[in-house]
Amino acid sequence: MTETLNIAQLCPETRVLGPGKRFVIWVQGCPFRCAECVAPDWISIENKSLVSINDLADRITAIRDLEGVTLSGGEPFLQAEGLATLVRQIRKVKPQLSVIAFSGFTLGQLRRKARTDPRIREFLNELDVLIDGLYRADLNDDLGLRGSSNQRIYFLTPRYRNRKAEFERRSREIEIHTLEKEMLMVGVPSARSLKIFQSLPQKIAGHFPS
């Protein structure tokens, strides 16, 4: 069983990547190279920061008033087994936590993979919402929690089905988090806010769905 996750970055608290207060995990490594990717440092499939799943689960469940976890990257489905284990562990303590994931794979592709790969199947079964598909800069319409209009938002459980408009049509928001020596952009940025962030010194990769 996988005991660690290869992490690109963590954000313990944000309100711009799904409903309520959320813990965000960006995993390292992505098989896609979308044009104008805002997180090029998170593409390479190499060890960045290996984090114990047990320790990460303890950290997440210790946060008060947390609504859920948002998973992105990189490509979360490259670490499907470890992320499924993490979600099961946190839900043993806080079963009410929701899980949202972004993926460059489409749901159809993932379901086909799941027929022969139990790791993919088990991870999919833990998700409340999947936002799928490759990011296309030419289809960025500055709306909702997906980076471009070709991407689709799937409500895999009833959890947020009555909040469809919030996912698909809400205005874009970002947060800038100051780290020790750098800044981290969290959220799905509008084209304007992305340009502003990219002009800043000492930034690190922001979040933009695959």
The pLDDT of residue 144 is above 60: yes
- Say yes or no to pLDDT of 210 above 60: no
Residue at 10 is within a domain: yes
Considering the domain boundaries, does residue 198 fall inside one?
no
187 lies in some domain: no
pLDDT tens readout for residues 18-33: 999 999 999 999 999 8
Q: Could you tell me the CATH number of the domain that includes residue 110?
A: 3.20.20.70
Model confidence band, residue 201 (pLDDT cutoffs 50, 70, 90): low
Say whether pLDDT at 205 is over 60: no
Domain assignment of residue 29, yes or no: yes
Pairing of strands 22-27, 174-178: unpaired
Q: What is the pLDDT of residue 170?
A: 83
Residue 185: inside a domain: no
Residue 53 lies in a domain: yes
Identify whether 196 is part of a domain: no
Tally the domains of the chain: 1
Mean pLDDT of 187-209: 63
0.85 exceeded by pTM: yes
Range of the domain at 102: 4-171
Quick check: is 50 in a domain? yes
